[in-house]
Every structure is written in structure tokens, then in C-alpha cells.
Amino acid sequence: MKILDGKKTYLDIKEKIKNKLSNKNVSIGLSVLLVGDDPASEIYVNMKKNACRDVGINSEIVRLSSEVSESEVLEKIDSLNKDDKIHGILVQLPLPKHINEAKILQAVSHKKDVDGFHPYNVGDLVIGEDGFVPATPLGVIELLKAYDIEIKSKDVAIIGASNIVGKPLFSLFLNEGATVSICHKRTKDISHYTKYADIVCVGVGLPNLIKADMVKDGAIIIDIGINKVDKKIVGDVDFEGVSKKASYITPVPGGVGPMTIAMLLENTIKAFNLIEGELID
């Protein structure tokens, strides 16, 4: 069994980006919109900000109160869309209940949409055109590629069908030539899909959902879950049991999480290139 070390891969990517940017006299701007005071979101946006600082991307966290109106958020997005210093815009989710998430995500210019949540980018991914791809699923694919794991013709089972992770991951695997099943809340028996899969990806927020008897020998296991159990961060996979059967497995923490941050940095450079011309290769 080998560990898919997302932390190490993240550090390698970060180093490469840092070196690339150090030779260029460019000013790249990322704006992260944080609405309300969700404690997990607070941690995530700070991780994003620190990663930007490490590589030389200018990032700002725009904080809006949980009571802000939808139109005030839309106004802020409009001004960021028009701001020449800002190349990437990210709205941290979840948003407070009174704000229509779809409306907010559609307001972000698709050219600055480093999260890949705008319907134009969702559509580009589905039809296999170049666009912004959400950072977490992109991180999964890049982690597999970093370990030279072939995706083409593999049977993949994805557990979790969210717009942020499961659905874009489905398209990414399909575009890479895999055969993909996607399971969700209403799936009768997820083990029916996981048992035969070469690659199992799970991200639903249920600790120990995937157990050893649900995967085949030699399976590749990607754990996208983040749960707090007894003050410890764990994923959705029973790591102890499943790692005995897996050929590769991601740890939590230190697997997919850091890859998400790495892909945000890559997407921000992509946004810069899209807006300013291909200045960074």
C-alpha cells in the first residue's frame, strides 16, 4: 500500500509556482469573499490566503456580515468583476440561508471564476472544453497524475454528487476515459459500486462510511471527507481497515485537502493569463 501524499505534492506545486512567479514582474490579484462567520470557512480562507502569500499572489479576504443583503453581495461582486487588479474571485461556501447561492455564483465573471462554479465553466467541463475546473476534483485528478496512475479505462465509483465535488469529478474522470458510477443519498447499495471499482472516491462527511469489505484488493482510495471526531480530523474511509487492501490511499488530513489549495493557485494563474494574455507558462 502506498500513501498518496497530497501535502508533499502541494508543496512541490507551490515551489514550482513560486519559482515561476519570482522571474516575472507581474501582480496577480485574488479576492476571496467570506460572508458570515462559519468557523470552517474561516480556516479555509486563511489557508488560501497563506498559500497565495507563499507564492507571491496578492490575495484579499473581503468579509461581509452574515446579515448582509443579497443585493449588497451582488454589488460587491460587480465591483470586483470590474477591478483590473483582481484576476480571480472566489465566494466561499456555504452562504447564509437568505442568500441565493446560484444567483451569487452566476454573478462572478466567468473569466475570474477560479472556483469553476459559474454555469459557463460547468458547461465547458461537461463538454470537455477548456475552462475553470473546481479545485477539489481537479486536485484529485492531479494527485493521481502526480503518482503516474493511469485513469483511462478504469472503473471509478464516486460517492457524493455535490456540485462542488462529485459532479465535476464525474466529468473529469469521464473526460479522461474512465467508466464512472456516481452514488448519492438515494443510492440503494453503494457497496454494489465500490466493490468492483478500481478507484473509489468518497466525500460526503460520514466517518467510516467506506469499510474494508466494500472495496476490492488493490483498489485506489481517494478520501475527500473532512470530519471532526473526538477533536481529530478524519475522512469518510475507515483508513485502518481499508489501507490493508488498497494499492494507494489518501490520508486525511494531508491528502486531497492540500491539493485543493494547490489547484486554486493554478486556477488563479490561469485567470491572470486569460485576462492579461499568456504571460506565465
Nearer to ligand GUN, 125 or 219 (CB): 125
* Residue 112 to residue 89: CA distance in whole angstroms: 6
For residue 177, the minimal CB distance to ligand GUN (Å) is 25
Piece of 18-26, 88-96, 148-156, 182-190 that binds ligand GUN (CB under 6 A): 88-96
* Residue 6 to residue 164: CA distance in whole angstroms: 19
30 binds ligand GUN (CB under 6 A): no
Residues binding ligand GUN: number (CB under 6 A): 9
Q: Which of 220, 242, 218 is nearest to 147 (CA)?
A: 220
Helix (H) or strand (E) holding 19: helix 6-22
Nearer to ligand GUN, 201 or 242 (CB): 201
Q: Which of 195, 192, 193 is nearest to 170 (CA)?
A: 193
Piece of 68-76, 91-99, 203-211, 268-276 that binds ligand GUN (CB under 6 A): 91-99
**115 catalytic per annotation:** yes
Nearer to ligand GUN, 92 or 109 (CB): 92
Residues of this chain, 148-167, that bind ligand GUN according to CB under 6 A: 164
**106 catalytic per annotation:** no
Helices (H), 119-236: 119-127, 135-146, 166-175, 191-194
Piece of 89-97, 169-177, 188-196, 225-233 that binds ligand GUN (CB under 6 A): 89-97
Contact 133, 168 (CB under 8 A): yes
**92 catalytic per annotation:** yes
DSSP at 99: S
Sign (positive or negative) of CA dihedral 129, 91, 263, 41: negative
64 binds ligand GUN (CB under 6 A): no
Among 92, 109, 171, 268, binds ligand GUN (CB under 6 A): 92
Place of cell 476490492: 216
At 278 the three-state DSSP class reads coil
Among 52, 89, 90, 125, binds ligand GUN (CB under 6 A): 90
Piece of 20-28, 87-95, 118-126, 206-214 that binds ligand GUN (CB under 6 A): 87-95
115 binds ligand GUN (CB under 6 A): yes
Three-state SS string across 126-141, please? HHCCCCCCCHHHHHHH
At 217 the three-state DSSP class reads coil
Residue ranges that bind ligand GUN, judged by CB under 6 A? 90-93, 115, 135-136, 164, 260
Active site residues per annotation? 48, 92, 115
